[in-house]
């Protein structure tokens, strides 16, 4: 039996200014190569769940594991190295670095992982071709449309072939047609590369594109809508 790409074991998360935990005893295991959508209303804890999976936050109690390795006790340097090597992120507002060109945005995660400049250029160009944006390599993000920026963000998330891709409302800032295009690209790219995909979304279309859908409600993870 394969080791889950990401696993939550009785995970609780409560913030100091909240009376109730945003996550209350979450158990979740996502197999390598699977795609899972987590749906729920605003404030239900979807982004918190992804932040825990991505080592951007730590649980109040319980344990999070990535590829079988517990995140407990890792210092920030170790967490950063894990993120660089094994995790890709796609955000609602793209989060491309505005002072870098598109090509430089794609090469950065590779260079941070020790990939040489020539090889980083080759891989970056291959992923830009995969998302249909070879012609924009020398442009800055502000000169692209929202859909183009999100396609670049998908390429950046996958350029280092991460084990786990975390997408937080990846189509929430796009019109319906562009959202459908980006979503199809994200899901297909993860399947082609073998990356596990965990999406937090309000979108029924995004949820339906995944292998399974879970729902967050009052800190609980459900298999059907509340």
pLDDT digits (tens, 9 = 90+) for 144-170: 999 899 889 999 999 998 999 999 988
Q: List the beta strands (DSSP E) in the chain.
A: 6-13, 23-30, 35-39, 61-66, 69-70, 87-91, 164-168, 196-201, 212-217, 220-222
CA gap 130, 133 in Å, rounded? 8
pLDDT at 5: 92
CA-based end-to-end distance of the chain: 31
Helix (H, G, I), strand (E, B) or coil at 98: coil
pLDDT at 42: 83
- Reported as a pLDDT band with limits 50, 70 and 90, residue 73 is confident
Mean pLDDT for all residues in the chain: 90
Q: List the beta strands (DSSP E) in 87-145.
A: 87-91
The answer for residues whose C-beta is within 8 angstroms of residue 208's C-beta and 6 or more apart is none
Has domain 6-222 been given CATH number 3.40.50.300? yes
Q: What percent of the chain has a predicted confidence (pLDDT) above 70? A: 100
- Reported as a pLDDT band with limits 50, 70 and 90, residue 223 is confident
- pTM of this prediction exceeds 0.85: yes
- Reported as a pLDDT band with limits 50, 70 and 90, residue 1 is low
pLDDT at 18 over 70: yes
CA gap 55, 211 in Å, rounded? 24
pLDDT at 55: 92
- Reported as a pLDDT band with limits 50, 70 and 90, residue 181 is confident
What does DSSP assign to residue 19? Answer: S
Which pLDDT tens digit goes with each residue over 194-217? 899 999 988 788 888 899 999 999
Average pLDDT (218-223) is 91
pLDDT at 112 over 70: yes
């Amino acid at each position: 039996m394969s080791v889950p790409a990401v696993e939550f074991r009785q995970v609780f998360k409560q913030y100091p200014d909240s009376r109730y935990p945003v996550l209350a005893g979450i158990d979740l295991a996502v197999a390598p190569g699977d795609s899972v959508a987590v749906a729920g209303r605003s404030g239900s804890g979807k982004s918190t769940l992804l932040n825990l999976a991505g080592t951007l936050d730590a649980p109040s109690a319980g344990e999070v594991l990535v590829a079988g390795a517990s995140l407990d006790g890792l210092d920030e340097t170790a967490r950063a190295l894990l993120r660089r090597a094994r995790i890709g992120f796609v955000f609602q507002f793209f989060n491309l670095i505005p002072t870098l060109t598109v090509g430089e945005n794609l090469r950065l995660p590779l260079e941070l992982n020790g990939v040489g400049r020539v090889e980083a250029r080759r891989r970056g160009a291959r992923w830009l071709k995969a998302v249909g944006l070879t012609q924009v390599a020398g442009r800055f993000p502000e000169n692209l449309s929202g859909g183009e920026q999100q396609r670049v963000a998908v390429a950046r998330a996958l350029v280092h072939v991460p084990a786990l891709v975390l997408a937080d409302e990846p189509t929430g800032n796009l019109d319906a047609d562009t959202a459908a295009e980006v979503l199809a690209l994200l899901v297909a790219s993860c399947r082609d590369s073998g990356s596990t995909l965990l999406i937090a979304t309000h979108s029924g279309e995004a949820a339906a594109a995944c292998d399974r859908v879970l729902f967050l409600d009052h800190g609980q993870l459900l298999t059907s809508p509340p």
